[in-house]
Amino acid sequence: MYGGVEGPAQTASPLHLWDVYLQAGDGHRIELPAGQAVSVALLSGGAVLNGLQELAGPETVIFTTDAGQIQLAATEDAHYLVLAGEPIKEPIAMGDPFVMNTEAELRDAYQDFRMGKL
């Protein structure tokens, strides 16, 4: 949900994904909910984070799970993603395009894929 508007996606755990475009000189304030992992992925352009840190895309910043605010000011036209969600606190095994909990599950997923099961 953002600005009182809720998107159509249904997820297993609460999460937020905002695709933001700012023109040079514009700003955006993001409220960080307590207990959620938050990251900002600047895909292109430039911005100043919280008046202190200059960012140049592509660049990603990961925040603590404390409540607070993020302020972004575009120094040039900027495109970024804001991703926030409750940490799942599970082990992760990644092997593009699969994400599983263990290496054994990952191997099984690759095998199923090669056999045409996925």
What would the pLDDT profile of 19-59 be if each residue is shown by its tens digit?
999 999 999 998 888 888 899 999 999 999 999 999 998 99
Return all residues near 32 (Cβ < 8 A) that are at least 6 apart.
38, 63, 66, 67, 68, 69, 70, 84
- 70: containing domain: 15-85
When pLDDT is cut at 50, 70 and 90, the band that residue 10 belongs to is confident
- Structural contact between residues 71 and 27, judged by C-beta atoms closer than 8 angstroms: yes
DSSP letter at 96 equals T
If one counts the domains in the chain, the total is 2
Residue 1 lies in a domain: no
Residues 58 and 41 in one domain: yes
Sign of the torsion angle spanned by Cα atoms 1, 53, 87, 11: positive
Residues 27 and 62 in one domain: yes
Residue 6 lies in a domain: no
Query: What pTM does this model have?
Result: 0.71
Return all residues near 108 (Cβ < 8 A) that are at least 6 apart.
none
